[in-house]
Amino acid sequence: MKQWFVYIIRCKDQSLYTGSTNHLIRRWHQHKQGNGARYLQAHEPQSVVFIEEHPDRSEACKREHEIKQFSKEEKETLVTG
């Protein structure tokens, strides 16, 4: 069974992008090459600052949606742990 991940990327403009994938390294390279989320085509990704594992796609998508509802301040708190 493949693990799924929810991740947060900090962009060069300090904005935060939240996504989910079952292959984090491949997805990071897609984002860096401009193949992926439209948001990251306009906001250059700098680094992955948060990773959370989930047992399946459904759980990862639920968590991704939950985090996307957070304020920037709440996301920063999540990132800094």
Q: How many CB atoms lie within 10 A of CB 8?
A: 21
Residue 2 contacts residue 53 (beta carbons within 8 Å) = no
Rounded Cα–Cα distance for residues 5 and 79 (Å): 15
Domain ranges of the chain: 4-80
- Partners of 51 in beta bridges: 7
Q: What is the pLDDT of residues 25-68, one digit of tens each?
A: 999 999 999 888 889 999 999 999 999 999 999 999 999 999 99
What confidence score (pLDDT) does residue 6 get? 98
Rounded to whole angstroms, the Cα distance separating 23 from 14 reads: 24
Supply the CATH classification number for the domain 4-80: 3.40.1440.10
Helix (H) or strand (E) holding 70: none
Q: Is the dihedral of CA 48, 54, 56, 59 positive or negative?
A: negative
Residue 1 has pLDDT above 70, yes or no: no
